[in-house]
Amino acid sequence: MTSDLFTYTLRLADDAAILGQRLGEWCGHAPTLEEDIGLANVALDHIGQARNLYSYAGEVEGAGRDEDQLCFLRKEREFGNCLLVEQPNGDFAQTIARQLFFSAFMLPFWRKLTGSRDETLAAIAAKAEKEAAYHLRHSGEWTIRLGDGTAESRARMQDAIDLLWPYTGELFEVDGVVERLVADGIAVDPETIRDEWHATLRRVCDEATLTLPPVGWMQSGGRSGRHSESFGHLLSEMQYMQRAYPGMRW
Amino acid sequence: MTEKTTPLWEVFIRSRTGMAHRHCGSVHAGDAEMALQAARDVYTRRGEGLSIWVVPSAEIIASDPAQKDEMFEPTASKIYRHPTFYEIPEEVGNM
């Protein structure tokens, strides 16, 4: 039970931390100054969520590991983030598609988690919900501008959606951990938000004149520590400081 | 190219404690909605504001500095026009 809660909280923390890390890579490289600041804002929201979740995971585990150790001293196979968030930034459209898929899921997810029987998770969710609403708005508006933009921007946005679509199946995966925590009223059953997630994407894509791919074969493995090729590189960069100077604080 | 597709917008923000919107800067954005988003990110990151106005810069008409004398001098030389000789009752509040 305790170990389920630890695993579940850690997965949520990993999702937020890895997406925050990816978004941080944009700093100073976004298409416009305004968007550069916008993406940094979104990145920092995710890092803040990750800190709350890692702290709580450390508490639940009760082995004396703090947020820094959980984030910076675990190996690739110990990370339980979904594959979607670790995908490379690619061009701006890819980053926006990744954010849209994720935020459209996380907004209803956090909203439901505010009703969790676990008070700490409920409190973290209440804070994250407001941030997710903004992230969805930000990525949704950009999807529309790019889709309904030039021939070039439209093609790139459609390519990005097609490219990342197979990574969305994992958001809805239910294994033993989730199943047991759902039964206890602690976790969110992802199936209960599938319709809203899909309706949000449909609405955005319709307005953007883009096509949502049919549900088909989906990638899997992130939750059990089997990650994509670029993930090791991401970790080596992210964890460099803590590994080079063990015990450093930030 | 950038100028054409993402024109300049002036940003006005009313702070938490402020009575009025104050001009705080400008952003480039494709349309009003995106200008609001950019203004939110660029100028209200630390919770500075409660309300944002964005206005296309092209819509703003400015006074001509060359006409400074005829526009502003008369008020400066007729100090009896200034309401500084009156005591303002407390009940009036902010003016």
Inside any domain, residue A143:
yes
Q: Which residues of A touch B28 (CB under 8 A)?
A: 32-34
| Pairing, β B8-15 against β B49-56 | antiparallel
Considering its fold, how many domains does chain A have in total? 1
- Judge contact between A35 and A118, C-beta under 8 A: no
> Given a cut of 50, is residue A247 above it in pLDDT?
yes
Inside any domain, residue A249:
no
Q: What is the pLDDT of residue B74?
A: 65
Given an 8 Å threshold on Cβ–Cβ distance, is B28 in contact with A32?
Answer: yes
Q: What is the pLDDT of residue B95?
A: 63
Inside any domain, residue A102:
yes
Inside any domain, residue A15:
yes
- The answer, as to whether pTM is greater than 0.95, is no
Q: Quick: pLDDT tens for B40-57.
A: 989 887 676 789 999 999
Q: What is the pLDDT of residue B71?
A: 73
Q: Which residue in chain B has the smallest CA separation from A135? A: B37
Q: What is the pLDDT of residue A250?
A: 63
CATH number at residue A45: 1.20.1260.10
Contacts of A197 (CB under 8 A, 6+ apart): A104, A105, A108, A171
Q: What is the pLDDT of residue B80?
A: 72
| Long-range contacts (CB closer than 8 Å, 24 or more residues apart) made by A184-193 | A184/A1, A184/A117, A185/A116, A185/A117, A186/A5, A186/A8, A186/A116, A186/A117, A186/A118, A186/A121, A187/A8, A187/A113, A187/A116, A188/A109, A188/A112, A188/A113, A188/A116, A190/A105, A190/A109, A192/A112, A193/A105, A193/A108, A193/A109, A193/A112
Minimum mean pLDDT range among A41-50, A153-162, A209-218, B1-10: B1-10
State both tokens at A187.
Answer: 């976790």
Q: What is the pLDDT of residue B76?
A: 67
Inside any domain, residue A227:
yes
Q: What is the pLDDT of residue B1?
A: 43
Count the Cβ atoms, other than its own, within 10 Å of residue A245: 9
Average pLDDT rounded to a whole number, residues B25-42: 93
Given an 8 Å threshold on Cβ–Cβ distance, is A34 in contact with B41?
Answer: yes
Q: What is the pLDDT of residue B2?
A: 53
Inside any domain, residue A174:
yes
A165 CA: distance to closest CA in chain B (Å): 26
Q: Quick: pLDDT tens for A222-244.
A: 999 999 999 999 999 999 999 99
Inside any domain, residue A217:
yes
Inside any domain, residue A250:
no
Q: Quick: pLDDT tens for A100-151.
A: 999 999 999 999 999 999 999 999 999 999 999 999 999 999 999 999 999 9
3-state DSSP assignment of residue A30: coil
Domain around A31: 2-244
Given an 8 Å threshold on Cβ–Cβ distance, is A141 in contact with B34?
Answer: yes
ipTM for the predicted complex: 0.75
Q: Which residues of B touch A145 (CB under 8 A)?
A: 30-31, 34
